[in-house]
Amino acid sequence: MTADTVISCKNAWKIFGADPKGYLGSMPATHSFDDIRADGYIAGVKDVSIDVYRGEMLVIMGLSGSGKSTLVRCFSRLHDITGGAITVEGQDLMSLSEKELIELRRSKMGMVFQSFGLLPHRTVLENVAFPLEMRGQDKHTRRERALEVIKLVDLEGREEYFPRELSGGQQQRVGIARSLAIEPDIWFLDEPFSALDPLIRREMQDEFLRLQGMLGKTIVFITHDFDEALRLADRIAIMKDGAVEQCDTPDQIVLNPATEYVRKFTEVIDKARVVHAGVLAQAGSTGDGPPVDARATVQDLARLLVHDERAVIPVATDGKVIGGMDRAAALDILLETS
């Protein structure tokens, strides 16, 4: 575990069934997900090793039943793992007492789920302040903090509204504000926007990116929507049958899928809007002329790639050239001929 690792998950298993620990201890190492199911057990999480780094947004995605929600519940010990180890900032989750675990959740973790879970008889202000009330903070302190985060999520003026008086997107903002009220270092979001219509969903993604840019939280975000993952993620972990098939940056997942499942998952994605110039830059062959920004996507550079005659185009980060991009390779991605 590096100094920047917030959550470290090593060979974690979560098996559901009559005697999961006994079964895991005697289970053949070659057993597949289907073999385990045939034995009357379900592998919600299957031998997962993954780290979550400070300040990153790790998006976990997969189809229904892939294990993504189960894995995140293991990260917060809403589920006890059957085998392996999970540490949060160096603390072994499974060794914590119930009191220590509650304190860790209250002080370090915020959670937002698909169902907003708002208290219908409480106002926006009272809903946002509720976790602070549970923490035992005085009324004045929790009101001041609730007002701060209500402003942060752009709900000023609606403090005295009840949930039934808000739109779906506004209700989700209340849920986000409530989870932010405790100032969590780690933020778990389980398909928080999936119940929203496409326009509001896009607006909430924009709002979420704005908040992350301001707050720099460590975030684990669950979705089944690959477009949403591509918009939000620093890294994406794709799950199937309880296991992580690949965990990497969006660029690398679409360029170099690790398994056939990941390849099929990503084959309909327009690589040009995902792959950045910085990923294509190769050191030692920088080319000549004005550089392009490493953060620009191939799609952003489409006009230049078509009309520029340079074989190698310099790529720069903050004005400093880091390498050269092969124009033909970038054109292959743009034209989907690779």
pLDDT tens per residue across span 31-87: 999 999 999 999 999 999 999 999 999 999 998 899 999 999 999 999 999 999 999
Under 8 Å between Cβ of 120 and 164: yes
Handedness of CA 115, 120, 125, 126 (dihedral sign): negative
The whole-angstrom separation of Cα 229 and Cα 236 is 7
Lookup: tokens for 195: 């119940």
Indicate whether 112 pLDDT > 90: no
Give the range with max mean pLDDT: 34-48, 131-145, 146-160, 175-189: 34-48
The domain that holds 331 is classified in CATH as 3.10.580.10
If pLDDT is split at 50, 70 and 90, which confidence band does 1 have?
Answer: very low
Mean pLDDT of 130-143: 90
265 and 244 belong to one structural domain: yes
In a domain, 183, yes or no: yes
What pTM value is reported for the model?
0.86
Give yes or no for residue 114 having a pLDDT over 80. no
Place 200 in a pLDDT band, splitting at 50, 70 and 90: confident
**More reliable by pLDDT, 205 or 37:** 37
Opening angle at CA 75, ends 91 and 49, nearest 5? 90
> What does the mean pLDDT of the chain come to?
91
Q: Is 317 helix (H, G, I), strand (E, B) or coil?
A: strand
Q: What is the mean pLDDT of residues 245-263?
A: 95
Rg (CA), the chain: 23
Q: Read off the pLDDT of each residue in 250-277 and give the average, rounded to a whole number.
A: 93
Taking the C-alpha atoms of residue 220 and residue 71, their distance in angstroms, rounded to an integer, is 10
User: Which of 270, 300, 317 is at the close of a domain?
Assistant: 270
Structure confidence at residue 3 (pLDDT): 55
For the domain that residue 88 is a member of, what is the CATH number? Answer: 3.40.50.300
Domain that holds residue 83: 5-11+51-270
